[in-house]
């Protein structure tokens, strides 16, 4: 049963996955166990991606399936027995940039890999990052950018985190097609990638999730 | 420039034809927004008026000592939307965004699954203007006509201003690959699901749009007599999709387009964003000299050069991030490495990766232009 669900996700068989999940919920199976099986499928997809067998499109397809599974399972999780998370990640596209495609893909993937994610949205003023870090206490703060106009805002947000004494409590990662290692240094971030799955792997490493 | 042995046009075409040049030709992808930034105009101003956009581009050209061919960019976001070149909802500075913001496209599922067959039946242009445009814009028919008139007027002035400066436009028009157009209209996630779960209607639409691109672009190129046409693609490479998707939905139609253009003596300028490392080998199948690859620094241009040495010219690829936050020395170093590594036997046009960013440092832009001029081929 467990392998079946993982394989279905690995083959992007959306309808069969949803049918499997509904059937198992209907038979009274522990929803957390079903969720774990799905996450195992997502991990397999991630491994195949890192091995070069799968591509971003396939990460997206599997994450979209997972999103639907999570929506089905969510009402069945009791407050006393919530799903365990692997860590907290705060994500946003900062002031000067309103693009969100890359950010949304990363958010979906992070959630599918068991992270609690707070998405700040787009065109986020740097002070709002500090405010949310204080409240949400993330392990990782991620900034996404498609255009270079977001770079100064990223730099400002990192400086504000430093001023507020919060910089040492979080890791800062940046991503998006326009970012480079040079931009990471300019911003004062800890990690940079143009690969969503590398972003997930970084968060897993930081939180000891893998 | 003292010491130059060729005119800008001679130099550009020698590079495209893979012949030796006296120095590398320079064609920065200077759009109205960085030109506005470099000349002290607001981004809102050039987003509202393409005559102002052209003024900013020409002023930059003159103030930075000129280069070999001018990248066309005298259009506003609304005009691009009216043309079908930016088939998405758009946020515009001065209207939806602060005056100093770059105009930006909004990724939404506007195109619906049933629209693929409408495109197949109606043709792209008719579908776009009679059905789709109203979903993304408030432009009326009169507005579209007015915007097209402004494009034409400024286009004529652009050609005259190029003549005054003894250079040619790099190309005219704003061609897009059908695959990219559909991905933008449908949104990338939904389009990906369609490719995997319901591929046939997508394939029918791409087939029709390919015929439409060929039929509409060739007369356009002939009218201007430039010998080049642009095809933009930012989402088809192996960064996004596996070879089986590329080979089914992109490559056959690309070959059709290049073949049709080349049979009329027209060179295809491919504007290819993102990492094409795993796709470069396919381009060996195209006729030698029939295309230029414009890369954005995500593709390894040196490895690509090794694959296509003596077969295709490259255009690029000084990274936007470097122009935005780097130093002039870093820009100079990058340009020199590019010229020696990818232009050692000709076949290179120096330009920015994707486009000059709208917060480019003036000293970095100058460093790119001057390094190109001062570095011997």
CA distance A183 to A193: 11
The beta-carbon neighbor of B189 closest among A60, A147, A148 is: A60
- The domain that contains B50 carries what CATH number? 3.20.20.210
Query: Does A55 touch chain B if contact means CB atoms closer than 8 Å?
Result: yes
Asked if A181 has any chain B CB less than 8 Å from its own CB, the reply is no
Provide mean pLDDT across the span A151-173. Answer: 97
- Residue B259 has a pLDDT of 98
Position B223 in a domain: yes
> Quick check: is A156 in a domain?
yes
Neighbours of A75 (CB within 10 A): 8
> Would you say residue B154 has pLDDT above 90?
yes
The predicted pLDDT at position A1 comes to 44
Q: Would the pLDDT of B319 be above 80?
A: yes
Q: What percent of chain A has pLDDT over 90?
A: 76
Axis crossing angle, helix A2-10 with helix A14-26, rounded to the nearest 10 = 160
Over residues B275-285, the mean pLDDT reads 97
pLDDT at B345 over 90: no
Say what the pLDDT of residue B2 is.
Answer: 52
Size of interface A-B (CB pairs under 8 A): 87
B160 is a domain residue: yes
Q: Are B298 and A177 within 8 A, CB to CB?
A: yes
Query: Is the pLDDT at B326 greater than 70, yes or no?
Result: yes
- Rounded Cα distance between A157 and A94, Å, is 9
Say if residues A146 and A102 touch (Cβ distance below 8 Å).
Answer: yes
Nearest to A172 by CA among A182, A150, A157: A157
Range of the domain at B284: 8-374
Q: Does A148 touch chain B (CB under 8 A)?
A: yes
A143 with A48, same domain? no
My answer on whether A170 and A190 are in the same domain is: yes
> What's the rounded Cα separation, in Å, for the pair B297 and B315?
10
Percent of chain A with pLDDT strictly greater than 70: 96
- Would you state the pLDDT for residue A2? 47
Residue B323 C-alpha, separation from nearest chain A C-alpha, in angstroms: 9
**Mean pLDDT score of chain B, rounded to an integer?**
96
**B166: exposed, middle or buried (C-beta count within 10 Å: 0-12, 13-18, 19+)?**
exposed
Asked whether residue A65 is assigned to any structural domain, the reply reads: yes
pLDDT one-digit tens code per residue, A60-94: 999 999 999 989 998 888 765 677 889 999 999 99
Measured between beta carbons, the chain A residues lying within 8 angstroms of B196 are: 12, 57, 61
- Banded model confidence at residue A149, pLDDT cuts 50, 70, 90: very high
Distance CA B286, CA B293 (A): 12
Residue A76's pLDDT is what? 86
Give dist(CA A29, CA A73) in Å, integer: 11
d(CA B143, CA B136): 14
Q: Has residue B310 got a pLDDT over 80?
A: yes
Query: Quick count: other Cβ atoms within 10 Å of Cβ A65?
Result: 26
At residue B3, the pLDDT reads: 67
- Rounded to the nearest 5 percent, the helix, strand and coil shares of chain B are 55, 10, 35
Q: Who among A56, A96, A152 is closest to B101 (CB)?
A: A96
Indicate whether A109 and A156 sit together in one domain: yes
* Same domain? A196 vs A95: yes
Determine the Cα–Cα distance for residues B242 and B112; give it in Å rounded to an integer: 24
Residue B3 inside a domain? The answer is: no
CA distance, residue A12 to nearest chain B CA (Å): 9
Report chain B residues whose CB lies below 8 A from the CB of A58: 242
- A70/A154 same-domain check: no
Q: Which pLDDT does position A153 carry in this prediction?
A: 97
CA triple A80-A86-A87, angle to 5 deg: 100
Residue A45, pLDDT score = 92
Whole domain around residue A168: which residue ranges? 87-207
Confidence (pLDDT) at B173: 84
Q: For residues B67 and B26, give the distance between their C-alpha atoms in angstroms, rounded to a whole number.
A: 6
Tell me which residue of B92, B114, B107 sits closest to B45, measured CA to CA: B92
ipTM score for this prediction: 0.90
Q: How much is the pLDDT for A81?
A: 67
Sign of the alpha-carbon torsion through A142, A143, A146, A151: negative
* pLDDT, position B363: 98
CB B1 within 8 A of CB B64: no
A115 and A70 assigned to the same domain: no
CATH assignment at residue A56: 1.10.1240.10
How many domains does chain B divide into? 1
B91: helix, coil or strand? Answer: strand
Say which residues have a Cβ less than 8 Å from residue B1's Cβ, sequence separation at least 6. Answer: B65, B373
Residue B232 predicted with pLDDT over 70 = yes
| Residue A3 pLDDT grade (very low, low, confident, very high; cuts 50, 70, 90) | low
Domain membership of residue B1 (yes or no) is no
Contacts of B184 in chain A (CB under 8 A): none
Residue B238 in this model has a pLDDT that exceeds 60: yes
Contact A98 B104 (CB under 8 A): yes
Binned at pLDDT 50, 70 and 90, residue B376 comes out as confident
Residue B148 lies in a domain: yes
Distance in angstroms (rounded) separating the CA atoms of residues A16 and A40: 16
Q: pLDDT-based confidence at B1, cuts 50/70/90? A: low
CB contact under 8 A, B325 and A194: no
Both A194 and A91 in one domain: the answer is yes
- Which positions in chain B touch A152 (Cβ < 8 Å)? 359
B189 to A96: CB separation less than 8 angstroms, yes or no: no
Positive or negative CA dihedral for B192, B198, B200, B201? negative
Same domain, A125 and A92: yes
Whether residues A8 and A110 share a domain: the answer is no
**Among B196, B319, B358, whose Cβ lies nearest the Cβ of A180?**
B319
The CATH number of residue A131's host domain is: 3.40.50.280
Mutate which: B184, B325, B361, vs A, most A CBs within 10 A: B325
Option in A58, A101, A148 nearest B324 (CB): A148
Q: Which is more confident, A99 or B161?
A: B161
- Selection from B303, B299, B376, B294 nearest residue B335 by Cα: B376
Residues A170 and A115 in one domain: yes
- The pLDDT mean for chain A works out to 92
pLDDT given for residue A79 in this prediction = 64
Query: Is the same domain home to A95 and A70?
Result: no
Total domains, chain A: 2
Contact B254, B291 (CB under 8 A): no
% of chain B surpassing 90 pLDDT: 95
| A8/A62 same-domain check | yes
């Amino acid at each position: 049963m467990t392998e079946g669900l993982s394989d279905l996700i690995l083959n992007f068989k959306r309808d069969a996955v949803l049918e499997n999940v509904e059937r198992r919920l209907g038979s009274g199976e522990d929803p957390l166990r079903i969720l774990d099986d799905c996450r195992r499928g997502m991990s397999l997809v991630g491994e195949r991606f890192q091995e070069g067998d799968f591509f971003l499109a396939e990460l997206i397809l599997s994450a979209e399936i997972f999103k639907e599974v999570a929506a089905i399972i969510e009402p069945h999780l009791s407050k006393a027995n919530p799903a365990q998370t692997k860590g907290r990640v705060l994500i946003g596209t900062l002031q000067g940039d309103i693009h969100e495609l890359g950010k949304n893909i990363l958010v979906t993937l992070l959630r599918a890999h068991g992270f609690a994610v707070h998405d700040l949205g787009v065109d986020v003023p740097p002070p709002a990052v500090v405010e949310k870090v204080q409240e949400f206490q993330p392990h990782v703060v991620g900034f996404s950018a498609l255009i270079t106009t977001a770079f100064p805002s990223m730099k400002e947000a990192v400086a504000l985190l430093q001023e507020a004494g919060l910089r040492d409590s979080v890791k800062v990662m940046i991503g998006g097609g326009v970012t480079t290692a040079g931009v990471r240094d300019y911003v004062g971030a800890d990690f940079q990638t143009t690969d969503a799955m590398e972003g997930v792997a970084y968060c897993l490493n930081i939180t000891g999730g893998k | 420039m003292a010491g130059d042995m060729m005119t800008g046009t001679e130099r550009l075409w020698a590079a495209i034809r893979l012949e030796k040049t006296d120095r590398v030709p320079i064609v920065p992808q200077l759009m109205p927004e960085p030109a506005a930034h470099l000349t002290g105009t607001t981004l809102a101003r050039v987003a509202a008026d393409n005559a102002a956009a052209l003024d900013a581009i020409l002023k930059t050209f003159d103030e930075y000592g000129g280069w070999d061919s001018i990248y066309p960019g005298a259009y506003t976001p609304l005009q691009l939307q009216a043309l079908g070149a930016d088939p998405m909802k758009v946020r515009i500075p001065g209207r939806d965004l602060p005056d100093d913001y770059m105009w930006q496209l909004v990724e939404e599922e506007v195109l619906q699954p049933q629209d693929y067959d409408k495109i197949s039946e109606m043709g792209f242009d008719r579908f776009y203007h009679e059905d789709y445009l109203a979903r993304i814009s408030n432009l009326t028919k009169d507005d579209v006509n007015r915007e097209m008139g402004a494009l034409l007027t400024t286009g004529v002035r652009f050609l005259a201003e190029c003549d005054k400066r003894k250079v040619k436009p790099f190309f005219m028009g704003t061609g897009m690959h059908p695959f990219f157009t559909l991905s933008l209209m449908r949104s990338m996630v939904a389009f990906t699901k369609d490719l995997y779960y319901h591929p046939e209607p997508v394939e029918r639409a791409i087939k029709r749009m390919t015929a439409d691109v060929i039929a509409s672009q060739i007369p356009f190129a002939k009218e201007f007599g430039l010998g080049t046409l642009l095809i933009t693609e930012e989402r088809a490479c192996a960064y996004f999709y596996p070879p089986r998707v590329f080979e089914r939905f992109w490559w056959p139609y690309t070959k059709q387009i290049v073949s049709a253009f080349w049979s009329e003596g027209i060179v295809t300028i491919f504007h290819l964003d993102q990492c094409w490392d795993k796709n470069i080998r396919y381009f060996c199948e195209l006729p030698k000299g029939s295309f230029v690859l414009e890369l954005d620094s995500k593709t390894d241009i040196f490895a690509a050069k090794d694959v296509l040495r003596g077969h295709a010219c490259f255009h690029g690829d000084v990274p936007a991030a470097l122009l935005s936050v780097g130093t002039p020395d870093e820009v100079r170093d990058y340009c020199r490495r590019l010229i020696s590594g990818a232009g050692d036997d000709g076949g290179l046009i120096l330009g920015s990766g994707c486009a000059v960013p709208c917060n480019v440092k003036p000293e970095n832009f100058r460093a790119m232009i001057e390094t190109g001029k001062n570095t011997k081929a």
